[in-house]
Amino acid sequence: MSGETLVQQHPMTSQSDSVLSNPFDADSFDAAVMSTYGRFPLALERGAGCRVWDTEGREYLDFVAGIATCTLGHAHPVMVEAVTRQIQKLHHVSNLYYIPEQGELAKWIVEHSCADRVFFCNSGAEANEAAIKLARKYAHTVLEIEQPIILTAHSSFHGRTLATITATAQPKYQKNFNPLVPGFHYVPYNDIAAVETAISELDEGDYRVAAILIEPLQGEGGVRPGDVNYFQKLRQICDETGVLLIFDEVQVGMGRSGKLWGYEHLGVEPDIFTSAKGLGGGIPIGAMMCKKFCDVFQPGEHASTFGGNPFACGVALAVCQTLEKENILENVQHRGEQLRTGLRAIAAKYPHHITEVRGWGLIDGMELKADTELTAADVVKAAIHQGLLLVPAGAKVVRFVPPLIVTEKEVDTALQIVDKAMAAVTA
């Protein structure tokens, strides 16, 4: 994507524009910043609610929300107030001391989930690393497994550290980074027989399955919801064998699914789960929650310098309290229904190009037919031309993850733009 020209035909501007005429100097940016990302040729500089503006003053409806992160949208008064208050009071002290905001946030999470206790870090990958370490220590000290194995699912996404790319069962994230971390094994998603086979076949000598790390709904892997029967069977297997059930709720958690946690859609509770993206409303924070097995780590066995600092926790607590106070989950449910209904109507107009619309709440995907040339990136680019930000989830799925405060009118506008974008890419 990087380096391509994106000719703007934006409804907000009279003349069409290309990024090349943009005063933002992408060349000098690229000369100084490492080329780890394929960027769309846009430079964003301001936001309010579900809208963002680029350096040219063009307005976009934001259905990306910093990749399922800006829970309350941009420049929400609650966040402005919380950020300002906390930076003026105290922002960082380290975990050498008690941090009241950290305790308050942990209490909120414990009261609003199946968790008994929380560990704080700064990102989703780190939260999953913490869960992997906890599972391994549990395996060694409680299950007495010398060589514990963690099962993860094909098309999963768990982060970009070495352990979490190993957990991520997608070759494109692992290529050229071997040797990977030992102790992971992959199974197809939503396939219970594969889990049963793996657990029995991997039980050999010092080796045994100790944990299953899985997303209740696969986000990056194409917005694929978990199957209720599959997850209930997983829970049953874990109860019978002592294998830990770990849910990666980094993307689907914190209200995005229309329930606070993705597992609430599946009628089961995990032993451990992780959160990050939406938790701080866009301020970096990650968390690992555990039920029962909270005393596995002893002081000094796991840590994070920034993790749980007053700033991140103060802001995240304000986000959590606002979700609750303003009954935002109800909005997520209604806007999600509206979005999927509208997308299905669009899908019906393009039966040769769209196969399915699926999702929970405000994490939704529109899958394109495998046998056409059309990619999710093509649709995303066409939508950007029309003033709507979207993000692919894999090559063939267009993902919709707006701020959870999105209005009925904004969803309508987004649907109109998707319709126009589909018309443009199929013309």
Which residue from 135, 121, 100, 92 is spatially nearest to 287, judged by alpha carbons?
121
Q: Shortest Cβ distance from residue 220 to ligand PLP (Å)?
A: 6
Closer to ligand PLP by Cβ: residue 159 or 342: 159
Token pair, residue 16, equals 């069409």
Subset of residues 128 to 157 that bind ligand PLP, contact rule: CB under 6 A = 128, 157
Nearer to ligand PLP, 380 or 415 (CB): 380
CB of 353 to ligand PLP, least distance (A): 26
The secondary structure of residue 395, as a DSSP letter, is S
Question: Do 63 and 384 touch, CB atoms closer than 8 A?
Answer: no
d(CA 313, CA 234): 33
**Contact with ligand PLP (CB under 6 A) among 165, 250, 411, 414:** 250
Asked if 123 interacts with ligand PLP (CB under 6 A), we say yes
Nearer to ligand PLP, 296 or 393 (CB): 393
Q: Which of 157, 184, 311, 400 is catalytic?
A: 157
CA gap 365, 48 in Å, rounded: 25
d(CA 177, CA 107): 39
How many of the chain's residues bind ligand PLP (CB under 6 A)?
15
With respect to ligand PLP, which residue has the nearer C-beta, 363 or 366?
A: 363
State yes or no: residue 367 binds ligand PLP (CB under 6 A). Answer: no
Burial of residue 59, with CB atoms counted within 10 A of its CB: 0-12 exposed, 13-18 middle, 19 or more buried = middle
By C-alpha distance, which of 148, 133, 131 is closest to 249? Answer: 131
Nearer to ligand PLP, 128 or 386 (CB): 128
Query: What is the footprint of ligand PLP within residues 208-247 (CB under 6 A)?
Result: 215, 219-220
Draw the binding track, 2-31, toward ligand PLP (x: CB under 6 A; -: no contact): ------------------------------
Q: Which of these is catalytic: 277, 311, 378, 400?
A: 277
- Tell me which DSSP letter residue 369 carries: P
Give yes or no for a cis peptide into 351 (omega within 30° of 0): no
Full DSSP string of 286-315? EEEEESS-TTSSPTTSS--SSTT-HHHHHH
User: Of 62, 184, 247, 248, which one is the catalytic site residue?
Assistant: 248
Q: Which of residues 155-174 bind ligand PLP (CB under 6 A)?
A: 157-159
- Pick the closer one to ligand PLP by CB: 61 or 250: 250
State which of residues 125, 296, 319, 323 lies at the interface with ligand PLP (CB under 6 A). Answer: 125
CA-CA-CA-CA dihedral for 386, 406, 76, 113, to nearest 10: -130
Contact between 62 and ligand PLP per CB under 6 A: no
Distance of CA 37 to the CA centre of its chain: 17
CB of 219 to ligand PLP, least distance (A): 4
* 203 carries an active-site annotation: no
**Residue 65: which H helix or E strand, with range?**
helix 65-68
Residue 157 annotated to the active site: yes
- Which of 8, 86, 102, 251 is in the footprint of ligand PLP by CB under 6 A? 251
What radius of gyration do the chain's Cα atoms show? 22
Residue closest to ligand PLP when measured from CB atoms = 124
Shortest reach from residue 27's CB to ligand PLP, in Å: 27
- Identify which of residues 131 and 332 has a Cβ nearer to ligand PLP in the complex: 131
76 lies in the binding site for ligand PLP (CB under 6 A): no
Residue 277 is a catalytic residue: yes
Nearer to ligand PLP, 157 or 189 (CB): 157
Reading the block at residue 289, the tokens are: 């929650």
- Rounded CA-CA distance 157/251 in Å is 10
Dihedral pair phi/psi, residue 32, rounded to 5°: -110, -25
CB 68, min distance to ligand PLP, A: 7
Q: Give the separation between CA 109 and CA 86, rounded to whole angstroms.
A: 20
Contact in structure between 58 and 246 (CB atoms under 8 Å): no
As measured in angstroms, the least distance from the Cβ of 398 to ligand PLP is 16
CB of 248 to ligand PLP, least distance (A): 5
Parallel/antiparallel/unpaired status of strands 207-214 and 244-248: parallel
Judged by the rule CB under 6 A, the positions of this chain that interact with ligand PLP are 123-125, 128, 157-159, 215, 219-220, 248, 250-251, 276-277
Active-site residue numbers? 157, 248, 277
